[in-house]
Chain A
Amino acid sequence: MNEQINTLKKEISKAVIGQEAMVEGLLIGLLCDGHILVEGVPGLAKTTTINALSRALGLDSKRIQFTPDLLPSDIIGAQIYNPQDHSFSIKKGPLFTHLLLADEINRAPAKVQSALLEVMQERQVTIAEETFKLERPFLVMATQNPIEQEGVYALPEAQLDRFMMKIVVQHNSEAQELEIMRKAASKGFGEVQTVLSIEDLFALQEELGKIHIDEELEHYMVQIITATREPLRFGLEEIAENIMFGASPRASIDLYKAAKAKAFLRGNDFVTPADIGYVIHNVLRHRIVLSYEARAKGIHTDEIISAIIETLPIP
Chain B
Amino acid sequence: MKNNLGKRSLHLFFFLLSFLTLQAEDFTYTFKVDQPNPYVKEPILLTLDLNQTNHDVVMLFSFDINPSEDYTFQRLDIQKTESYHDAKIHYVYLIYPLKSGDIHITFDLIKKVTTDESLAYSFSGDRDNVKKLVTTDTQIDLPPLQLRVKPLPEGTVLVGDFALTYDIKKHQAKAYEPLPFQVNIKGKGYPPLVETLLPKEGNFTRFTEKPIVKSVATQRGTQSTVTYPMALSYSQSFTLSPIVLKAFDPKTEKSYTLDIPSQHFEIEQVDTHRLVDTVDAPDSVKEDWSWLSTLLGYIVAFFAGYITALSWKWGKKKRQKENHPLIQKIRNCKDEKALLQVLIAADNTHFTSSIEKLESSLYGNGKINFNKVKQDSLEKII
Contacts and interface: CB of A to CB of B under 8 A. Distances in A.
Interface string B340-354: 111111101100000
B314 to A, nearest CB: 22
Interface of B: 329, 337, 340-346, 348-349, 355-356, 358-359, 362-363
Q: Which of B337, B345, B362 has the most CB of A within 10 A?
A: B345
Nearest to A305: B345
A277 B363 contact: no
Contact of A309 (B337, B344, B358, B363): B344
A277 B343 CA distance: 9
Given A277-B355, A309-B341, A314-B337, A272 B348 contact: no
B198 to A, nearest CB: 82
Interface of A: 21, 270, 272-274, 276-278, 280, 305-307, 309-310, 313-314
A277 B348 contact: yes
Nearest to A310: B345
B344 A278 contact: yes
Nearest to A314: B341
A313 B358 CA distance: 15
B368 to A, nearest CB: 14
B341 A274 contact: no
A310 B358 CA distance: 16
Nearest to A278: B348
Contacts of B349: 21
B337 A274 contact: no
Q: Is the interface of A mostly helix, strand, loop or mixed?
A: helix
A93 to B, nearest CB: 37
Nearest to A266: B356
14 contacts: A272-B359, A273-B341, A274-B348, A274-B356, A277-B343, A277-B344, A277-B355, A278-B348, A305-B345, A309-B344, A309-B345, A310-B342, A310-B345, A314-B337
A305 B342 CA distance: 12
A23 to B, nearest CB: 13
Contacts of B362: 272
Contact of B340 (A21, A273, A278, A305): A273
A181 B348 CA distance: 28
Q: Give 3 closest A-B pairs by Cβ, nearest first.
A: A277-B344, A309-B345, A306-B345
Contacts of A306: 345-346
B36 to A, nearest CB: 86
Contacts of B358: 274
B345 A313 contact: no
A156 B329 CA distance: 36
Nearest to B341: A314
Q: Which of B329, B344, B355 has the most CB of A within 10 A?
A: B344
Q: Which of A270, A307, A314 has the most CB of B within 10 A?
A: A314
Contacts of B344: 273-274, 276-278, 280, 309, 314
Given A272-B359, A273-B341, A277-B344, 10 more contacts: A270-B363, A274-B340, A274-B344, A274-B355, A274-B356, A277-B348, A306-B346, A310-B342, A310-B345, A314-B341
